[in-house]
């Protein structure tokens, strides 16, 4: 994006680049850069807080007053202490014959649809796996966890991207089931540690690692610190 900013500026279009990682935005050196020490994925800081977000935008627009390249730091930091987990009630079991993760995902579908209607498809499924195929993708990871090689399990795409769609489906559904905006990674911790689908993905990830699959294939099925 910083490279594009230089191109746009050369054509007379003023730009402002936001960065959440200081070393990266310093290294890429956009013409006007604002480093905000906020969690990744939250460039304006606090969800559902227009006043806070407008202050961040106001600071960014101030950079347009400088005719020279400028780098600024927003004066408020937001940290995630990596301990809070999203509090989210789960639907009861409906189909005892289905795998628990599949039954769970089906039970979350109404909540997912409510969240999409209210917030739009910002982080939900659809990048690789459409919402109607989420349970099929989960079933593929169940097979991997049980010992089937991933190329034979029917994973509908690169495993890391498929797992991201499943996680996006769950975290989007959680928006409709929780009554507050959790810390940035609280939803991810909830998904990986407390949901059946998250446990399946982590088990499949470990099975792929144990089978000697190339690191990029399985590593990014979950955040790198996992």
pLDDT, one tens digit per residue, over 30-59 is: 889 999 988 877 888 887 788 999 999 999
Residues 156 and 213 occupy one common structural domain: yes
Q: Would you say how long the chain is, in residues?
A: 226
DSSP state of 11: T
Residues 104 and 191 occupy one common structural domain: yes
Q: Are 34 and 62 in contact (CB under 8 A)?
A: no
Query: What's the token pair of residue 184?
Result: 């940035």
What is the helix (H) or strand (E) element at residue 219, kind and residue range?
helix 215-219
Structural domain includes residue 38: yes
Higher pLDDT, 24 or 134: 134
Structural domain includes residue 225: no
Per DSSP, which regions of the chain are E strands?
Answer: 17-19, 32-35, 70-73
Structural domain including 145 reads 100-219
Q: Which residues pair with 71 in a beta bridge?
A: 33
Residues 64 and 109 occupy one common structural domain: no
pLDDT, one tens digit per residue, over 65-85 is: 887 788 999 999 887 766 666
Our count of domains for the chain comes to 2
Task: Determine the pLDDT at residue 59.
Answer: 93
pLDDT at 216 over 90: no
Structural domain includes residue 65: yes
Q: How confident is the model at residue 61 (pLDDT cuts 50, 70, 90)?
A: very high
Structural domain includes residue 161: yes
Using the Cα atoms of residue 46, residue 120, residue 217 and residue 205 in order, give the sign of their dihedral. Answer: positive
Residues 69 and 115 occupy one common structural domain: no
Q: How confident is the model at residue 176 (pLDDT cuts 50, 70, 90)?
A: confident
Query: What's the token pair of residue 102?
Result: 């599949």
């Amino acid at each position: 994006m910083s490279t594009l900013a230089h191109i746009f500026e050369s054509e007379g279009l003023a730009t402002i680049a936001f960065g959440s990682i200081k070393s990266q935005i310093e290294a890429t050196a956009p013409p006007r850069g604002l480093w905000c020490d906020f969690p990744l994925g939250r460039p304006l800081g606090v969800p559902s807080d227009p006043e806070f977000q407008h202050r961040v935008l106001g600071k960014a627009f101030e950079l347009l007053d400088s005719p020279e390249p400028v780098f600024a730091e927003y004066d408020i930091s937001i940290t995630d202490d990596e301990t809070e987990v999203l509090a989210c009630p789960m639907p009861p079991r409906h189909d005892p014959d289905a795998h628990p993760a599949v039954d769970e995902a089906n039970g979350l579908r109404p909540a997912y649809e409510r969240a999409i209607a209210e917030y739009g498809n910002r982080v939900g499924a659809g990048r690789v796996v459409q919402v109607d195929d989420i349970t099929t993708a989960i079933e593929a990871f169940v097979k991997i966890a049980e010992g089937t090689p991933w190329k034979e399990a029917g994973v509908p795409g690169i495993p890391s991207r498929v797992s991201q769609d499943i996680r996006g489906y769950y975290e989007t559904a959680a928006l409709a089931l929780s009554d507050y905006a959790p810390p940035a990674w609280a939803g991810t911790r909830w998904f990986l540690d407390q949901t059946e689908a998250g446990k399946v993905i982590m088990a499949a990830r470990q099975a792929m690692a144990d089978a000697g699959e190339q690191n990029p294939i399985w590593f990014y099925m979950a955040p790198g610190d996992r």
